[in-house]
Structures are given as C-alpha cells and as structure tokens.
Chain A
Amino acid sequence: MEKLTLDVILASLSEVGSTVLFILVGVVVLEAVLYLLFGVVFKNKYTLPILLLAPAVVGLTLLIIYPLLWEFNLSLTNMSLRRFGDKAQYTWVACQSADPGTIQNWLTDCLLRNYADVFRLPVLKQVYFFPVFGRTILWTVINVVFHVAGGLGLAILLNRPMRGRGLYRTLLILPWAIPQVIAALAWRGEFHYEYGFLNIFLTRLGLTPISWMSDPTWNFIAMCIVNIWLGIPFMMVILLGGLQSISQEYYEAAEIDGAGAWQQFRSITLPLLQPVMTPAIILGTIWTFNNFNIPFFINQNELETSDILVTALFRAAFQYNRYGFSAAFAFVIFIILLVYAVVYIKTVRIEGIYE
C-alpha cells in the first residue's frame, strides 16, 4: 500500500521536472544546431518555419513514426515473451533451420509467416480472424446507426424554442462528459446478475434476469448498450449545431408549396445536414471501430466471443505475449482502416463535383 506523503510528492515532482527539463534542453540544443545549419550556413529562407516545426517533428518521429516502422520490422520476426531479449529472429531466418522438405510456400511459411498466421490460426485461443472482423463490423454498424438515429432524433426535438431546453441539453450531454473508464466500470457493475439495476428492473417486471456477463450474445448486447449510451450526446450536439445553421426560410417556402413534414425532412433537412453529418459519421465510425475501453471492460469474463479487433490485438500482445504476431495483426487492422479512409475520401471528392 502506497501513501501520498511529502516524500512521494517531492520524488515524483523531481522525476517529472527533470523529464520536462530534459525535453527543454533537448529542444534548445536542437534549435541551436538547426539555426546554425540553416540560418547561418545555408541562409535558407525557411529557417524560421523549420525551427518552429522541428520539436514537433522530432517528437512525432521518435514516438509515432519510428515505433511504427519498428513495429513493421517486428511483424517479420518471431518475437514473443520467450524470445524477448536478443533471441528473436526474422521468421525467414528461423525458417532456414527447419527441414526444407516441410516448407511448401516460402512467402507464407517464412517471410510473411505472421501475416499468414493472422488469417489461418486463431488470433487468441479459439477465435479466428474473420469472425472477429465480422463482429467488429457489426459492432461498428450497430453503434453508429444508433448514435446517428438517436442523436438526430434528439437534436430535432431540441431544435425549437421551448421551456427547459437548456436543462434538457445539459442533462443529455452528461454521458459524454463522464470519463469513459468510469462509465465502463460503473456499467459493468450494473450488469451484475443479482445487484445490477437492469436485472432488478427485469425481475420487478416479472421477467427472467439476464446473465449479461457470461452469455456471449447478451455480453455483446451489453457492450452495445453502453457504447450507444455514451455516443449519442456527441452526435446530438454536432447535429443540433448543423440544424441551427439551416435557414428557416427553406421550411417556410416548402410550407407554402404544400410540402408535408416528412417531405421537408427528406428534401431540406437531410441534404443540408450532409456537410455536418458526413464527417461526424466518419469520425464516429473510426472511434467506434477503434474503441478499446468499452469492449475491454464490459467483457469482464474475457469471453473471446465479445472481442473486437482492437481488444483482440491487445490480448494477443499483452496476455499471450505474441509480439511478432501482434505486430502483423496490427498492420492488418491498420490496412482495413486505411482502405476505409481512402474509399471515404474518394466518395467525398465525387460528392464535391456536384456542388
């Protein structure tokens, strides 16, 4: 048991302080070198922007670009907890010591072995890649559909002068304001078979309580419930902002032409909301696809049937310690996201032509 004593405070302050100082000194040295190089020696006209960009570029390179390149290198090796030190080898090197007769395909058995394994072996103990991928898509689609539908519905209801509007808005935003970890852990408690409020409600209504934690289907539904609850406020706020920027005149004109409520919604609201809605949906999709906290925490019993890609990746890396394999798995996930983004950018460009 650790206590917060004065010693602890001073020790932690000095460690964090020295780290910040270290970064500061590093930045000063870097700037001085770059200034001498570009400002004095080359007399480059871009010296100032180079100096302004340098610290961020170095930081991003050291902590994002270099780790990613290194991870790609890792994905070609057989590193695991057992071979953590220097014992890890490139899979194609490890391959050479094997009996040549057993090697059927040099590419999938040696060079890209980890990548092939992602698709042909279980990614965890039992589940294979494609079921997890399918579940991830299902998870993403269910969540985003409910976020948009719920957010749009509430935004429409709120987008009118009425009493208590500000209060409604504040209360409805609340789930967004709560730290995700707390929300996930609190909800996990509420899925308790006996003492969670959902089952208490069900029992009082005379229904059978649900085993949210051990039944795979219900556990997945539990994940969705929590994430939908968390995600609606963001969509609501963004879409409410979009609705408020639509001029009332369109609706007045439509009314004169005798358009009904549904027609007004389809031909005025939806198209004019598009520029706000599309980026929000794209962002929501990527957030949901990459959501770690909710599937990880709600799945208390570590059911493999509740894992989505990113939680499976985490478990493969940090519970089964298959580092080389996880690196390959990570790149497969990254490529899926990249394909999605490229398709999205293409679609938006096409839409742009019609503007």
Chain B
Amino acid sequence: MSTNPAAPVQKFTPAPARSRFARFFRASRGDSPFKRLLIHLTLILACVIAVYPVLRVVSVSLRPGDRLLSTSLAIIPPDATLDNYLTVLLEKDFLLWVWNSLLVTVATALIGVALASTAAYAFSRWRFRGRTAGLIFLLSTQMIPAAMLMVPLFILAVRLNLVGTYRGLVLAYSVTSIPFSIWILKGYYDTIPIDLEEAALIDGANRLEAFWRIVLPLSTPALAIVFLFNFMTAWNDYLLARVFVANATSIWTWPLGLQLLQGQFTTAWGQFAAASIMVMMPVVALFLYSTRYLISGLTIGSVKG
C-alpha cells in the first residue's frame, strides 16, 4: 500500500542545497564535542550490530573442518583456510543450484519486464474503462500472502505435471512481480512528456513505433530497476521453490541447497557459510550499488498516482 496515490508526497518543497547547518536539532557547529562523540559512538555501535553477524558467517566459512564447532569469537580464525569454499565448489551441488537459480531467474525477469513494460504503457497513456479498478487490483495483489497462493498453485501444478520442472518455476515466477513492476513503470512513463510522442506521430511514426523508439529508450533507468526487482524476487525466493521442486534435487535452487547444508549443522556449517558468502557477494554488491536508484524508483512509483 505504500504506493497509494493519496499520499501527498509531492506537495513538499524539494530538498534545498545542503546548508552549512545540520538539518537536525541544532547546527552541528554548535554541537559540543561531547555530543559529537556520543553520536559517533552510537553509530559505531549500530554498525557493529549490523555487520557483526555477517562477519561471523565469513569467520565460520574460513574455519578448518575440525574446528567448526568452537567457542572462539575471533573474526579471522588463526588457522584460516579456504577448504570449505573448495568443498562446496567441487564436491557439493552448489554450482548446479546456482545455475538453476540463475537460469530460472533471468528467464522470468525478462518475461516479467516485457509483460509489465507494455501493460504499464497502456495504463499510463490511455483512459479506458476499468483503468482505476485495474490499478487498485494490482495494488491489492501485493497484500496476498505468498503462502495463500501456494495451495492452489501446488495442486494445479500437480494436475498439469508441472511439479519438479523448470517449466513450472518459470511460469509461476514470471507473473509474481508484474503488479509491482506495472506500478513503477507507469509512474515513470507518466513523467515522460507526451509531446515527444506526438512529435513522432506528426513525423509519420505510428503509436507503437513511438513507444518502441522514444518511450522505452527514455525509460532505461526504470526498466533496469524493474528488471533488478524481478530478478531479486525470484532469486531470493524459497517458498515457491520449496513447494514446486522440493522433491526434484536436480532442479533445486540455491535457497533449497543452502537449507540442506545448514540443516547438517555439525558437519556442514562451514560449507553453508562458504556457500552463503559466494551467493551473497554479487547480490550485496549489486544492491549497495543500486540502492540509490532503487529508492528513487520506488518513490517515483508512489508519487505519481
């Protein structure tokens, strides 16, 4: 519901250039050294709480097999080794899991973006009957708990022989992010002046060409955000994979595999940690790089009703 058009975000003045005063409580030059120290200490403490559990995963992944279970709190164990990484890469099915996830995720993200980008254009440029109802419907699908859809999807998939296949996963994932994607893209299209398309129409292009040649290229940032969002949703999903392919180990995605490794706590904790780090690295890097765009994308969608 965050994207409710009723939220009057746009009524506020845009941020001014940063004044030399702090924006809060008092001017920072007026902050006593003691207060500044206190602020830094609080932030450092918060950072430690945020980062420490992640460092622990790094630490466990570097432990040699016979020292997995230790009560040491050192981040880099004295006898650090990359054995766990090698085991996961060479002896476990880790690469297969990642491959499966990657394949299904890329396919579904492409389908999702294709379907959402065209539908969003219709919502943005035409006032047809049922438009508002459609937008509200899209918004309300965001409230449906995932577990609720699993019951019918599972039984229907069993009847259509889609359980334990890539096909079932691709079909099911491809629509899950469409409602949200349509909202974001519609918001973005709304900010593109219609004059550009009208000029193209005068020059003899038809509406579809105007969309393809002008609107889509101008929307590259929004399309990237939506692709990323679709990708992340499918990449990080556990529930649907569990329901659809739990019994077909050759189609397992990485969340299922990691759950297996973590389940054998005493024997494979280090392997789980190593696998986690390898899955996490690219996702975290991508995420930290794109947060700024991600958030501006989210707010565009919410501001432009």
- Given A2-B93, A348-B4; 6 other pairs, CB 8 A cutoff: A70-B156, A162-B36, A170-B288, A181-B236, A248-B16, A283-B2
Interface residues of B in 273-303 (CB under 8 A from A): 273, 276, 279-280, 283-284, 287-288, 291, 295, 299, 302
**What is the distance, in angstroms, from A237's C-beta to the closest C-beta of chain B?**
6
For the complex, is B96 an interface residue (Cβ under 8 Å from A)? Answer: yes
Interface residues of B in 181-206 (CB under 8 A from A): 182
Residues of B participating in the A interface, judged by any CB pair closer than 8 Å: 1-4, 6-9, 11-16, 18-26, 28, 36, 39-40, 42-43, 46-47, 49-54, 56-57, 60, 69-71, 73, 93, 95-96, 99-100, 103-104, 107, 110-111, 114-116, 118-119, 121-123, 125-126, 128, 140-156, 158, 165-167, 170-172, 174-175, 178-179, 182, 207-208, 235-236, 238-239, 243, 249-250, 255, 258-259, 262, 265, 269, 272-273, 276, 279-280, 283-284, 287-288, 291, 295, 299, 302
In the bound assembly, the distance between CA atoms of A237 and B150 in angstroms comes to: 32
B143 contacts which chain A residues (CB < 8 A)? 286, 290, 334, 337-338, 341
Q: For residue B238, which residue of chain A has the nearest CB?
A: A181
Q: Which of B7, B95, B291 contacts A237 (CB 8 A)?
A: B291
Q: What are 17 A-B pairs with beta-carbon distances under 8 A? A: A16-B166, A20-B110, A49-B128, A56-B178, A63-B172, A64-B144, A154-B46, A160-B39, A176-B287, A185-B258, A186-B54, A248-B19, A279-B3, A286-B143, A310-B148, A334-B148, A338-B143
For the complex, is A55 an interface residue (Cβ under 8 Å from B)? Answer: yes
**Stretch of A89-97, A106-114, A138-146, A191-199 at the chain-chain interface:** A191-199
For the complex, is A76 an interface residue (Cβ under 8 Å from B)? Answer: no
Q: For residue B252, which residue of chain A has the nearest CB?
A: A2
Do B122 and A197 touch across chains, with their CB atoms under 8 A apart?
A: no
Do B145 and A337 touch across chains, with their CB atoms under 8 A apart?
A: yes
Beyond A241-B295, A275-B8, A333-B145, is A63–B171 a contact (Cβ under 8 Å)?
yes
Beyond A15-B167, A179-B279, A318-B150, is A157–B19 a contact (Cβ under 8 Å)?
no
In the bound assembly, the distance between CA atoms of A48 and B207 in angstroms comes to: 8
In the bound assembly, the distance between CA atoms of A341 and B145 in angstroms comes to: 14
Do B103 and A178 touch across chains, with their CB atoms under 8 A apart?
A: no
Do A243 and B99 touch across chains, with their CB atoms under 8 A apart?
A: no
**What is the distance, in angstroms, from A340's C-beta to the closest C-beta of chain B?**
8
Beyond A261-B25, A355-B8, is A286–B142 a contact (Cβ under 8 Å)?
yes
Q: For residue A200, which residue of chain B has the nearest CB?
A: B71
Do B7 and A275 touch across chains, with their CB atoms under 8 A apart?
A: yes
**Stretch of A118-126, A215-223, A322-330 at the chain-chain interface:** A322-330
Do A317 and B250 touch across chains, with their CB atoms under 8 A apart?
A: no
**What is the distance, in angstroms, from A177's C-beta to the closest C-beta of chain B?**
4
In the bound assembly, the distance between CA atoms of A260 and B54 in angstroms comes to: 40
In the bound assembly, the distance between CA atoms of A174 and B182 in angstroms comes to: 28
A270 contacts which chain B residues (CB < 8 A)? none
Most buried by A among B128, B149, B155, B235: B155
Do A52 and B249 touch across chains, with their CB atoms under 8 A apart?
A: no
Q: For residue B182, which residue of chain A has the nearest CB?
A: A56
For the complex, is A172 an interface residue (Cβ under 8 Å from B)? Answer: yes
Q: For residue A344, which residue of chain B has the nearest CB?
A: B1
Q: Which of A71, A157, A179, A348 contacts B235 (CB 8 A)?
A: A179
In the bound assembly, the distance between CA atoms of A253 and B100 in angstroms comes to: 59
In the bound assembly, the distance between CA atoms of A71 and B28 in angstroms comes to: 58
Do A67 and B23 touch across chains, with their CB atoms under 8 A apart?
A: no
A279 contacts which chain B residues (CB < 8 A)? 1-4, 7, 302
A355 contacts which chain B residues (CB < 8 A)? 8, 11
A200 contacts which chain B residues (CB < 8 A)? 71, 73
For the complex, is A149 an interface residue (Cβ under 8 Å from B)? Answer: no
For the complex, is A251 an interface residue (Cβ under 8 Å from B)? Answer: yes
Interface residues of A in 231-261 (CB under 8 A from B): 233, 237-238, 241, 243-248, 251-252, 255, 261
In the bound assembly, the distance between CA atoms of A238 and B7 in angstroms comes to: 14
Contact with B along A45-64 (1 / 0, CB 8 A): 01011101101110110111
For the complex, is A131 an interface residue (Cβ under 8 Å from B)? Answer: no
For the complex, is A229 an interface residue (Cβ under 8 Å from B)? Answer: yes
Q: For residue B54, which residue of chain A has the nearest CB?
A: A174
**What is the distance, in angstroms, from A268's C-beta to the closest C-beta of chain B?**
10
Q: For residue A9, which residue of chain B has the nearest CB?
A: B99
Do B236 and A179 touch across chains, with their CB atoms under 8 A apart?
A: yes
**What is the distance, in angstroms, from A294's C-beta to the closest C-beta of chain B?**
11
Q: For residue A311, which residue of chain B has the nearest CB?
A: B147
For the complex, is A127 an interface residue (Cβ under 8 Å from B)? Answer: no
Most buried by B among A162, A187, A201: A162
